[in-house]
Amino acid sequence: MAKRGGFPGGMPGNMNNLMKQAQRMQRQMEEGQKELETKEFSAKAGGGAVEVVVSGKKEVLRITLSEEVVDPEDIETLQDIIVAAANEALRQADEASNELMGKMTGGLGGGFPF
C-alpha cells in the first residue's frame, strides 16, 4: 500500500529527476535560442548580384545590390532576385533553428501521442 502523499515504487524520486532534467533542458534551449539569435545567415541570388543577410530572429539585417542588377527598365527581375535571396537566407535560419531543437530534444520531435 502506498505511503501517504507518495506513490508505490519510488515515483517521487523519479518525478524529481524528471523535473530537474526538464529544467536543465529548458535552460539549454534558452541559451541555444539566444546564441541562434546572434547569428547571421546570408544568401546570394542572381549570380551574386544580390545578397540578403538575416538574423537568427529572422529579421532582415542588410540587402546588398551590385550596380549592374539595378536596371530601371527591369524592376521586376530585381524584385524577384531579392525575394529569392531573402527566402534562402530565411531557410538557412530555419534550418539552424530546427537543428538546435533537434539537439535539445534528442530527436524526440513533436510526435507525442497525447
Q: What is the pLDDT of residues 54-86, one digit of tens each?
A: 999 999 999 999 999 999 999 999 999 999 999
User: In angstroms, rounded to a whole number, what is the distance separating the alpha carbons of residues 26 and 63?
Assistant: 34
Residue 56, SS3 per DSSP: coil
Region of residue 53 (phi > 0: left; psi between -120 and 50: alpha; otherwise: beta) = beta
User: What does the pLDDT read at residue 114?
Assistant: 44
| Threshold 0.85, pTM exceeds | no
Ranges of H-type helices in the chain: 11-38, 75-105
User: What does the pLDDT read at residue 108?
Assistant: 57
Q: What average pLDDT values come out for the chain (114 residues) when binned by 10 residues? A: 52 80 87 89 96 95 95 95 97 92 68 47
